[in-house]
Amino acid sequence: MLNIGSYDERIKNFDWNIAEKELDYHPGDIINIGWYCSDRICLMGKADKPGLLWEGSTGVEKRYTYNDIRLNSNTIAQFLLDLGIKPEDRVCLFMDKIPELYIGFLGILKMGAIAQPLFSAFGDDSLFIRLDNAQTTAIITQKKHLPKVRKIIDKMPYMKHIIIVDADPGKPLANREVAFDMAKAEKIETFDFHPTTAESPSVLHYTSGTTGQPKGVKHVHYSLISQYLTSKWVLDLRDDDIYWCTADPGWVTGTSYGIIGAFSNGVTQCVLDAGFSADNWYRFIEKYRISMWYSAPTAIRSLMKAGEEVIKKYDLSSLRHLASVGEPLNPEAVIWSERVFGKPFLDTYWQTETGSIMISNYPGMKIKPGSMGKPFPGITATVIHPETFEPFNESGKIGLIAIKPGWPAMMRTYWKNEETYQKKFQNGWYLPGDRSSIDNEGYFWFVGRDDDVINTGGHLVSPFEVESALLEHPAVAESAVVAKPDFVNMEVVKAFVTLKPGFTASKDLDLEIMNFVRKKLSPLAMPQEIEFIDSLPKTRSGKIMRRILHAKEWGEEIGDTSTLEND
Ligand code: WTA
């Protein structure tokens, strides 16, 4: 029996209070995600059930029952409180996918602070921009990432504590640094969690736009309602499932579904903190008998590329249900997975701002490979005309995806940027910034983004951020950054660069600039290709026309160039 039962039945008379009732929440009550994801599961009689099965890159394993998760998150919460951290202070998690990241997240929420997860692969520039915007009070990190924090610490007077989870005993720490060893810390049996309510802020996730600095997407504790129910109905999480969400919690999928959705449903989830290889992933599925697997198109395409021989080496018969998010899932990938795993990957569509799945394929529903599926029950989504902002009367038209605001996990604002937040709404609709069509059976077909943001391997990279980093290199005069097609990552970053007088293009300079961006921003933001050119196409007003460079990369029509400088 599927959790969702029948999609067609569920969309009739849907009410979010279905989730509220299951969670025993009544409007106005205290609601704390940290408590729901640990204490409540224990109270439901699952204290000894494994909650987190973790494997590190060297094969070392750690196991945590729900009671362990409860005790350890209490302990972290108390530690933060004792440091003087206050409710609503921002506490950054800057770690690899280690247990402290997952459990620390819950600890932060338990004591009422706001969790700010950031990719540990971020370079010091990417890190600083986000910490500075959030005026973050504390950062929890590993010693291997400490050099990046130390490099920028003097610019951050608001940053009071750098908490190191694996500090070497006896080794002196710098000012503001403090050690916290989760395994050795004395466990706190009862912690009076902060009485957060529905609108209390919970998580601050940073996402990139075309222009300006990355935006901090503010979520609240009430998001649990959507995250719990979508995990249950779309991911079909059940009590005996062994769940694997491959996403890093630096990304919203890794928190909404890699922490909150999984733990609030009380399932056993696995985490593999190691780089990607087809062999290693299949081995992991076999070893832990993974039954529900939530991943991303780039990973699926990498697996396709690795071929089918490697699949035969492993017993993957535990797989029951597969889903994907983050970028368009090609029809071939859906068909391939059905053939090799006996199950299709079900595409799900949503974004950092929506906090939970918006449009999806559901277990039991007819799947059309290449389509994102239909709106989640309770979500009113359509496609509107990009100028009139009115829904189309006929199917098949390409327009902007538009969603009626008001679901529980919807972002509440962009941090200190209400103006940009307001711009996301038109004519009563929330606009995610994507284009799609809807067919005559109500299925959504993704067309593309409505801005210049690059989606590389499911991760959004702002061309503006990369261009700004490039300009800091002494050889670079001007730059324009666009997406270039790539089989595995769908898009990768490509930079067009003009050089300052005295510099000449060379392979060495090329590599030097690439590395420069990688260190400052991240490996994903690093241009995979740099093309040195004499001048960039610009409008008469001097604005760089990325559109022309983009069209060239994708072999598309260049379109209207009437505003071009030298036409
Ligand atoms: C894109 C990810 C096509 C889209 C959870 C969206 C998708 C952005 C899909 C959000 C999908 C996400 N098909 N495109 N199934 N899912 N996207 O904020 O452009 O990192 O707006 O959140 O990824 O990316 P974000």
541 vs 554: CA distance, rounded Å: 26
**Mean pLDDT, residues 486-506 taken together:** 95
456 vs 523: CA distance, rounded Å: 11
Across the strands, what pairs with 197?
30
Q: Spell out the residues 6+ positions from residue 183 whose beta carbon is closer than 8 angstroms to its own.
A: none
Beta strands in 18-109 (DSSP E): 50-56, 61-65, 90-94
Confidence of residue 564 (pLDDT cuts 50, 70, 90): low
The residue to which tokens 């204290």 are assigned: 47
Mutational test site, ligand 1, from 455, 490, 524, max ligand atoms within 8 Å of CB: 455
Coil, helix or strand at residue 308 = coil
Confidence of residue 107 (pLDDT cuts 50, 70, 90): very high
Confidence of residue 545 (pLDDT cuts 50, 70, 90): confident
pLDDT of residue 198: 98
Q: Spell out the residues 6+ positions from residue 16 whose beta carbon is closer than 8 angstroms to its own.
A: 225, 226, 229, 378, 407, 408
Coil, helix or strand at residue 479 = strand
Beta strands in 123-194 (DSSP E): 138-141, 161-164, 177-179
557 vs 547: CA distance, rounded Å: 10
**Mean pLDDT, residues 323-352 taken together:** 96
Question: In this structure, which residue's CA is closest to atom 13 in ligand 1?
Answer: 328
Q: Residue 338 pLDDT > 90, yes or no?
A: yes
pLDDT of residue 560: 65
The kind and range of the H/E element at 224 are helix 223-233
23 vs 353: CA distance, rounded Å: 23
**Mean pLDDT, residues 214-221 taken together:** 97
**Where on the phi/psi map is residue 325: left (φ > 0), alpha (ψ -120 to 50), or beta?**
beta
Distance 348 CA to ligand 1 centre (A): 9
Token digits for 153?
């610490």
Distance 224 CA to ligand 1 centre (A): 20
Distance 10 CA to ligand 1 centre (A): 24
pLDDT of residue 563: 62
Mutational test site, ligand 1, from 327, 353, 444, max ligand atoms within 8 Å of CB: 327
Q: Residue 210 pLDDT > 80, yes or no?
A: no
Domains of the chain: 7-436 (3.40.50.12780), 454-554 (3.30.300.30)
Mutational test site, ligand 1, from 234, 434, 443, max ligand atoms within 8 Å of CB: 434
Q: What separation in angstroms does the CA of 145 have from each of 116, 140, 283, 464?
A: 16, 10, 29, 25
Question: In this structure, which residue's CA is closest to atom 14 in ligand 1?
Answer: 327
In this structure, are strands 90-94 and 138-141 parallel, antiparallel, or unpaired? Answer: parallel
Q: Residue 113 pLDDT > 80, yes or no?
A: yes
47 vs 302: CA distance, rounded Å: 38
Q: Residue 566 pLDDT > 60, yes or no?
A: no
483 vs 479: CA distance, rounded Å: 14
Q: What separation in angstroms does the CA of 341 have from each of 145, 248, 293, 321, 338?
A: 38, 24, 11, 10, 6
In this structure, are strands 413-414 and 215-220 parallel, antiparallel, or unpaired? Answer: antiparallel
pLDDT tens, position by position, 402-414? 999 999 999 999 9
Q: Which residue has better confidence, 564 or 42?
A: 42
User: For residue 174, which of 157, 149, 197 has the smallest C-alpha distance?
Assistant: 149
Residues within 6 Å of ligand 1 by CB:
207, 251-253, 325-329, 347-352, 372, 432-434, 446, 449, 455, 460
Count, residues in the chain: 567
399 vs 217: CA distance, rounded Å: 25
Question: In this structure, which residue's CA is closest to atom 12 in ligand 1?
Answer: 326
Within 13 A of 342's CA, how many CA atoms are on the CB side? Answer: 8
CA of 353, closest atom in ligand 1: 18
Confidence of residue 557 (pLDDT cuts 50, 70, 90): confident
Q: Spell out the residues 6+ positions from residue 503 whose beta carbon is closer than 8 angstroms to its own.
A: 475, 509
Q: What angle do CA 187, 191, 196 make, to 5 degrees?
A: 140
Distance 318 CA to ligand 1 centre (A): 28
pLDDT of residue 296: 95
Distance 325 CA to ligand 1 centre (A): 7
Q: Residue 543 pLDDT > 90, yes or no?
A: no
Mutational test site, ligand 1, from 231, 246, 350, 400, max ligand atoms within 8 Å of CB: 350
Coil, helix or strand at residue 374 = strand
Confidence of residue 97 (pLDDT cuts 50, 70, 90): very high
Distance 328 CA to ligand 1 centre (A): 8
Q: Please report, rounded to a whole number, the percentage of residues in the chain having pLDDT higher than 90.
A: 93
Question: In this structure, which residue's CA is closest to atom 21 in ligand 1?
Answer: 351
Q: Which residue has better confidence, 540 or 135?
A: 135
pLDDT of residue 567: 44
Helix residue ranges per DSSP H, 342-462 = 418-422
Helix residue ranges per DSSP H, 259-330 = 261-264, 278-288, 297-306, 309-312
Confidence of residue 312 (pLDDT cuts 50, 70, 90): very high
pLDDT tens, position by position, 52-79? 999 999 999 999 999 999 999 999 999 9
358 vs 163: CA distance, rounded Å: 36
Q: Which residue has better confidence, 565 or 26?
A: 26
pLDDT tens, position by position, 399-449? 999 999 999 999 999 999 999 999 999 999 999 999 999 999 999 999 999
Q: Spell out the residues 6+ positions from residue 375 whose beta carbon is closer than 8 angstroms to its own.
A: 358, 359, 381, 403, 444
